[in-house]
Amino acid sequence: MKSKPLNMMTALAAGLAMSAGAVAADPDATLVINGEIPIVTRTEAPAHLEGALDEIRSGWTFRTKETQALQMDDFENPGMGPAEEAMTVWETADGTEGKSCADCHGAVEDGMKGVRAVYPKWVESAGEVRSIEQMINECRTTRMGAEEWQYIGSEMVNMTALISSVSRGMPMNVAIDGPAAETWAKGKEIYYTRFGQLDLSCANCHEENFDNYIRADHLSMGMTNGFPTYRLKNTKLNAVHDRFKGCIRDTRGVPFGVGSPEFVALELYVASRGNGLSVEGPSVRN
């Protein structure tokens, strides 16, 4: 679907400065990680986006060729170092129960394969939709007798990167029906709500104006299949709620709290927009 032009208010507020194509990017490039993990970066939009988008694209397709290349090889991907650090944590006992993640889940590539592709998800025992971060802290406090990690702290982001890495290539497939439907609808409402002094919604940038530029930023579709994401801009792994927080702050609005019901709902909705794209995390972005 061809992106729509920014309206006058958005253009003035956001400072649209470049046209698409001003920075070298290859939207038709093929992503294969380590020469053996094919990644779907473009596919038909899920049914619930009918009338909004015909095709969905990974954020990888909007990046420069140089940035794209970093994700093709784990030795070049700066996000893989933190994920490897988390492997040691996975196997290390912690808390009053003297248990490690591996004690319950086994090898991460076995116990966690496919997990990233279906989260956030409805957790019956909790009676709510939960993110991977919430489930990690649930394990730490109730099974390990350990302290919670900060929701977007380095220990948490490293672990979610490790968990994501073993599902790379699998299609995103978050459930939006049944008991998750109410949370999904709340997330959709937030996605289309304008925030801040700039009066912008997620959709204004990532649905109506993807492939355009705001200043030097090439707007993507805002898909989350690549999170956690190593951003060259701040040279660290970034959690999805950290990115949500930054986007709302950029509108000069007041963000919801990380791990809040609002951000979990938004995460579910945005993840569902990427159903069919491959899990990529830890990905590399500008």
Annotated catalytic residue, options 112, 247, 268, 284: 247
Task: Give first-to-last CA distance, the chain, whole Å.
Answer: 24
C-alpha distances (whole Å) from 273 to each of 57, 96, 171, 210 are 10, 40, 12, 14
247 is catalytic: yes
| 249 assigned binding-site residue | no
| 104 assigned binding-site residue | yes
| 48 assigned binding-site residue | no
Q: What are phi and psi of 271, to 5 degrees?
A: -60, -40
| 241 assigned binding-site residue | no
Positive or negative, the CA dihedral 125, 127, 131, 136 is negative
| 139 assigned binding-site residue | yes
Q: Show binding-site residues for substrate.
A: 243
Active site residues: 247
Q: Show binding-site residues.
A: 101, 104-105, 139, 202, 205-206, 243, 247
